[in-house]
Structure 1
Amino acid sequence: MIDADGYRPNVGIIIVNKEGKLFWGKRLYQDAWQFPQGGVRENETPQQAVFRELKEEVGLEPSDVRVLGRTKDWLTYDLPKHLIRHYSQPVCIGQKQIWFLLGMLSDDEKINLNTHETPEFEGWSWVDYWVPVQNVVEFKQSVYHQALTELETHLHKFWTKEHVG
């Protein structure tokens, strides 16, 4: 599903543990790391997409996390020209994303990267909050910075009873 401007609706997932570290996934067969993310299907809300992608990519259930916050608006990034598939219609020039900050309630052992027939990640690590901005592929750095900046204000909710439904 590509919108009229050429962007694919997508959700980004930032998982924080009780130590304030973020889940950082190593892409399968690539020397690249990123947050879990995935497309929003037709007739699916962004929050429904988050929980579907969370299960598919990380093996976690909604009960394993708590929604702490989400970006107010769609954040966009453009694909580099060499990654645009000009032969497909409609042409996708990038992604527009709603980002969610999720607090990890379960133990690390619940993380399972092999629950889907086509895994996204082959490894993972907990990293400091700002590490992903400098370590994600360059064309995503700005959107990562925007998402982390906006969602940083919600971190305190993980250690209190306040949360987003």
Structure 2
Amino acid sequence: MDIELGYRPCVGVVLANREGKVFVGKRLDHPETTDGQIYWQMPQGGVDPGEDLETAMWRELHEETGVTQDNSTLIARAGESLRYDLPDELIGKLWGGKYRGQEQVWYLLRFTGDDSEVDLETHQPAEFAEWKWLDPEQLPEVIVPFKRVLYRAILEEFRNLI
């Protein structure tokens, strides 16, 4: 019996600094691929049952980066949610095998703090091994290939506000 897999509810954050660079982290669980490629991503994560999207966004941002409402400002929310599908080889292996991909609502925030306030170990287990600020135009090139279309759409949505 084939079961139609849905999309995991998720939020994502474009965290931009005062210079217009965006936060990316290198995941601890996938530091590099078999071809030696290292991929980076912006903060993102699942929405808990009964949790509103903005609350989930602030929770995920804090868990993954240590950044809070004390050192960042909400600038915008994307007009539409965006979906991506996992590659066939990952379907059934992530998120308890319940989802074929994620449906994400993205937010743009301005980081107003000091880089020393970023703390990747705020939550255990940590999500990222390291982080850096990156030119937004480089985003699609540093993400895993199956998320590139999504990252281009996010960049287009927020380009003039970053």
Give yes or no for TM over 0.5: yes
2:18 aligned with 1:18: yes
Give the Cα–Cα distance (whole angstroms) in 2 for the partners of residues 84 and 104 of structure 1: 34
TM-score normalised to structure 2 length: 0.88
Give the Cα–Cα distance (whole angstroms) in 1 for the partners of residues 96 and 49 of structure 2: 17
Aligned residues of 2:5 and 2:98 also touching (Cα < 8 A): no
Aligned residue runs from structure 1 range 118-129, under 5 A: 118-129=125-136
Task: Find the residue that maps to 2:148 and give its secondary structure.
Answer: helix
Aligned residues of 1:6 and 1:90 also touching (Cα < 8 A): no
**Cα offsets for 1:45-77 (capped at 9, x unmatched):** 111011001110001111211111111111000
Aligned residues of 2:91 and 2:97 also touching (Cα < 8 A): no
- Give the RMSD, CA atoms, in angstroms: 1.8
- Seen in structure 2, the aligned counterparts of structure 1 residues 131 and 88 have a Cα distance that, compared at 3 Å, is closer
Task: Find the residue that maps to 1:126 and give its secondary structure.
Answer: strand
**Cα offsets for 1:84-130 (capped at 9, x unmatched):** 11798773000000011110010111000001111110101111011
- 2:154 equivalent in structure 1: 147
Task: Find the residue that maps to 1:93 and give its secondary structure.
Answer: strand
- Seen in structure 2, the aligned counterparts of structure 1 residues 60 and 90 have a Cα distance that, compared at 3 Å, is same
2:7 aligned with 1:7: yes
TM-score normalised to structure 1 length: 0.86
Tell me how many residue pairs correspond in the alignment.
152
- 2:73 equivalent in structure 1: 66
- 1:159 equivalent in structure 2: none
- Structure 2 unaligned regions, length at least 5: 33-38
Runs of 4+ in 1 over 2 A off after TM superposition: 86-91
Moved more, 66-75 or 86-95: 86-95
Task: Find the residue that maps to 2:161 and give its secondary structure.
Answer: helix
Moved more, 21-30 or 4-13: 4-13
- Structure 1 unaligned regions, length at least 5: 156-165
Q: Please, which of 16, 38, 63 is the counterpart of residue 56 of structure 1?
A: 63
Task: Find the residue that maps to 1:41 and give its secondary structure.
Answer: coil
